[in-house]
């Protein structure tokens, strides 16, 4: 128990809280700069405010999910470190896997408080930082060149002499398609989970994720229909969060049927 009190000590809260505060300041600076640049470029202020409102609303439920990750990891790693990892750079599914693998390699068997030592913790913390830093490394050393190349390709006139950001742009279709690919991969994995998770065509896997996705999609469809029928543009800012909330509420009842 002594190790847990050290992992929850004021020093660790101060260290992790300080880094999180620094990142919050960075977010404010980037947000304010973008807002001012948008105003100077003549972008409608009300549209920018809609983006901020929609994004803030959108983020609430996933953030509560991430908070649960902090709680889950706090039993073995204390609270400050998971708080830092999941506020900055980390992602719920990565952090747990890396922490577990790191715990095994330092010889404490798995991620549990019973075998945790100071050395094991600092090694796990280092590995969690090191394993998931590659996006940051690439964006530091190649972000500018990559972004400039993308911008140049978007602005390069095509055979018809049109800039690709114009009506004939494939960029938008490509972005939408990439997102469809991303969503489809996850939804297809839920289908695969039901059908073959416990052996090919056993149909005995967990059906809850697919059911939740379908309910969220149906709720979203209702929101979209209302928005179109009533021309309620304001609904756009809340439709995703609302659909998620409906689906997650239904999950509570569906889980009882399992």
Partner 1 sequence: MKDNRNTDNQALYGQYLKATHTLGRIMTLLVLLLLLAAPFAIGLFLEAMPNLGAAAKAFLGVGLVYLVSGIVEYLIYVPMLGAGGSYLAFITGNLINMKIPCAINARDIVGVKSGTPENEIVATLSIAASSLVTILVLALGVALMIPLQPILQSPVLQPAFENVVPALFGAMACKYYRSNRVIALIVLGVMSFLFVFVPSLIGSTSMMVIPSGALAIGLAYLSFRRQRKGREGSK
Q: Is 179 in the site for partner 1 (CB under 8 A)?
A: yes
Q: Does 45 bind partner 1 (CB under 8 A)?
A: no
**CB 149, CB 139: distance < 8 Å:** no
Minimum CB separation of residue 189 from partner 1 in Å reads 4
The answer to whether 232 contacts partner 1 (rule: CB under 8 A) is no
Under rule CB under 8 A, residue 204 binds partner 1:
no
Instruction: Compute how many residues bind partner 1; rule: CB under 8 A.
Output: 160
DSSP three-state, residue 157: strand
| Window 94 to 113, contacts with partner 1 (CB under 8 A) | 94, 97-98, 101-102, 104-107
Q: Which of 86, 95, 79 is nearest to 64 (CA)?
A: 86
Beta carbons within 10 angstroms of residue 193's beta carbon: 16
Residue pair 229/223 in contact (Cβ under 8 Å)? The answer is no
| Site map 152..171 versus partner 1, x via CB under 8 A | --xx--------xx--xxxx
Would you say the C-alpha torsion 163, 164, 168, 172 has a positive or negative sign?
negative
Q: Which of residues 59-78 bind partner 1 (CB under 8 A)?
A: 59-68, 70-71, 74
Q: What's the rounded Cα separation, in Å, for the pair 107 and 194?
A: 35
Please identify which residue in 189, 204, 226, 230 interacts with partner 1, judged by CB under 8 A. Answer: 189
Asked if 209 interacts with partner 1 (CB under 8 A), we say yes
Residue 250 in tokens = 């239904």
Work out whether 226 is an interface residue with partner 1 (CB under 8 A): no
């Amino acid at each position: 128990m002594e190790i847990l009190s050290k992992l929850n000590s004021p020093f660790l809260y101060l260290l992790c809280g300080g880094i999180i505060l620094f990142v919050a300041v960075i977010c404010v600076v980037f947000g304010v700069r973008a807002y001012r640049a948008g105003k100077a470029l003549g972008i409608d202020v009300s549209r920018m405010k809609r983006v901020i409102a929609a994004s803030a609303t959108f983020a609430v439920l996933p953030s509560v999910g991430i908070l649960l990750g902090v709680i889950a990891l706090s039993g073995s790693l204390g609270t400050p470190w998971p708080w830092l990892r999941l506020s900055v750079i980390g992602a719920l599914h990565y952090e747990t896997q890396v922490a577990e693998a790191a715990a095994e390699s330092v010889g404490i068997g798995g991620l549990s408080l019973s075998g945790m030592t100071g050395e094991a913790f600092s090694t796990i913390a280092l590995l969690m930082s090191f394993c998931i830093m590659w996006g940051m490394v690439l964006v530091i050393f190649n972000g500018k060149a990559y972004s400039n190349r993308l911008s140049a390709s978007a602005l390069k006139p095509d055979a018809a002499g049109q800039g690709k950001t114009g009506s004939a742009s494939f960029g938008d279709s490509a972005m939408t398609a990439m997102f469809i690919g991303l969503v489809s991969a996850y939804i297809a994995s839920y289908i695969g989970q039901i059908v073959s998770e416990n052996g090919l065509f056993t149909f005995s896997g967990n059906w809850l994720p697919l059911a939740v996705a379908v309910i969220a999609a149906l709720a979203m469809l209702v929101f979209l229909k209302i928005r179109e029928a009533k021309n309620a543009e304001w609904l756009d800012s809340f439709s995703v969060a609302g659909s998620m909330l409906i689906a997650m509420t239904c999950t509570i009842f569906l889980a009882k049927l399992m």
